[in-house]
Amino acid sequence: MLAVVCPGQGAQSPGMLSPWLELPGSAATLAGYSEAAGTDLTRLGTTADAATIRDTAVAQPLIVATSLLSLGAVLDGADPAAVAGVTAGHSVGELAAVAIAGVLPAADALRLVGERGRAMAEAAAATPTGMSAVVGGDPDDVGVVLARHGLTPANVNGGGQVVAAGTLEQLAALAADPPARARVIPLEVAGAFHTEHMAPAVERVRAVAASLSPAQPRVALLSNADGAAVTDGADALARIVAQVARPVRWDRCCDTMLAMGVTGVLELAPGGVLTGLARRTLKGVEALALKSPDDLDAARDLVRRHGGLE
């Protein structure tokens, strides 16, 4: 069984869309995504610098658009439901996953993520906050230390990785007093996502979600909330709205993939992070990161062997 997974914020890099736009039809598709998201994704994905695309309002639609554009290149018109047994996205990647599952058309997913990015950027601007990865250490000890510093385990990723989120002062205290045998790595994100600091963004995202008409998933769609396969489109959107201010349990998504019998994982562009996690948490499962069109042949081979693409 093939799992198609979609990366989250922080995966972006300057110029990442340039090679994809050399493919036939990609420029027109991206223009449509830009109109839906309310931002010029072509410029942002080709000529904007690292500081510009670090902005949450920019990074979120840019990553979702890149994921969907890269999947379209892999499948070349094939229906995702014909090849993928399951899909999931990490944090904002879940907006790409709902489009892959057929819950929303791509344009609606881009419209929703555009507002999500803007709302979360404004919430992040209210208080200087951020996130740091905590790698290694005893899980119980990590939890105790994060609680001592008033930090939230915003992403529980499995493979010995937890992402702590909170104010910059709290993160500085964590860096000075880390859990035993753990490394603390500051992340290139602009706020404490998936925590109470994002609460002001929730209603804005909910208002846009309420204007959409979700369909039932055609591909098993795993929720960041608990790793469960969501069977109702309205429930999928409700979970995505709540996810803005609640922790991401990617570890539980991985547990569900194993239980479902996933044998291959394709991480869409701008891939890399989730493939690295998969190699530590999904033992025996073949994983491939789709980083550029140079990877298309390998991606199609993976899909053919695990998803039946002919």
Catalytic residue among 67, 91, 132, 223: 91
Please report, rounded to a whole number, the percentage of residues in the chain having pLDDT higher than 70. 99
Q: Are strands 264-267 and 2-6 parallel, antiparallel or unpaired?
A: parallel
Question: CB-based burial of residue 28 (10 Å sphere; 0-12 exposed, 13-18 middle, 19+ buried)?
Answer: exposed
pLDDT band at 309 (very low <50, low <70, confident <90, very high): low
- Distance, first Cα to last Cα, the chain: 15
CATH class of 126-186: alpha beta
47 in Cβ contact with 181 (< 8 Å): no
Q: Are 98 and 116 in contact (CB under 8 A)?
A: no
Could you give the residue ranges of the DSSP H alpha helices within the chain? 26-37, 41-46, 50-54, 56-75, 93-100, 106-126, 139-148, 168-176, 199-210, 233-243, 250-260, 273-281, 296-307
Domain-by-domain residue ranges, the chain? 2-125+195-307, 126-186
In the predicted model, is pLDDT for residue 240 greater than 60? yes
C-alpha span between 112 and 104 (Å, rounded) = 10
259 band by pLDDT with thresholds 50, 70 and 90: very high
Question: Exactly one of 90, 149, 194, 306 is catalytic; which is it?
Answer: 194
132-136, 222-226, 305-309, range with the lowest pLDDT: 305-309
pLDDT tens, residue by residue, 23-53: 999 999 999 999 999 999 999 999 999 999 9
Q: What is the pLDDT of residue 85?
A: 96
| Average pLDDT value for residue range 286-291 | 97
Given this model, what pLDDT does residue 10 score? Answer: 85
| Model confidence at 153: pLDDT above 60 | yes
Whole-angstrom Cα distance, residue 205 to residue 214? 15
As given in the structure block, the two tokens for residue 259 are: 């239980």
What pLDDT, in 10s, does the model give residues 97-125?
Answer: 999 999 999 999 999 999 999 999 999 99
How far is residue 305 from each of residues 207, 286, 290, measured CA to CA in Å?
A: 41, 10, 16
Under 8 Å between Cβ of 117 and 127: no
150 touches 244 (CB < 8 A): no
Q: Name residue 301's amino acid.
A: D
Q: Is 194 among the catalytic positions? A: yes
Q: Write out pLDDT tens, residues 193-218.
A: 999 999 999 999 999 999 999 999 99
Told to judge if 292 belongs to the known catalytic residues of this protein, a careful annotator would answer no
* pTM of the predicted protein model: 0.94
pLDDT for 56-76, tens place per residue? 999 999 999 999 999 999 999
How high is the pLDDT of residue 308? 73
> Residue 189's pLDDT is what?
80
pLDDT at residue 46, rounded to an integer: 98
- Check whether 2 has a pLDDT greater than 70: yes
At residue 227 the predicted structure's pLDDT band, cuts being 50, 70 and 90, is very high
- Judge: domain 2-125+195-307, CATH 3.40.50.2300: no
> For residue 310, is pLDDT > 80?
no
156-188 pLDDT, tens digit per residue, is 999 899 999 999 999 999 999 999 999 999 987
Q: Which of 263, 276, 17, 217 is nearest to 97 (CA)?
A: 217
In whole angstroms, what is the distance from residue 114 CA to residue 156 CA? 25
The bridge status of strand 152-158 relative to strand 161-167 is: antiparallel
The owner of tokens 């706020």 is 191
What are the DSSP calls for 266-284, one per residue?
EEPSS-SHHHHHHHHHSTT
Mean model confidence pLDDT for the chain: 95
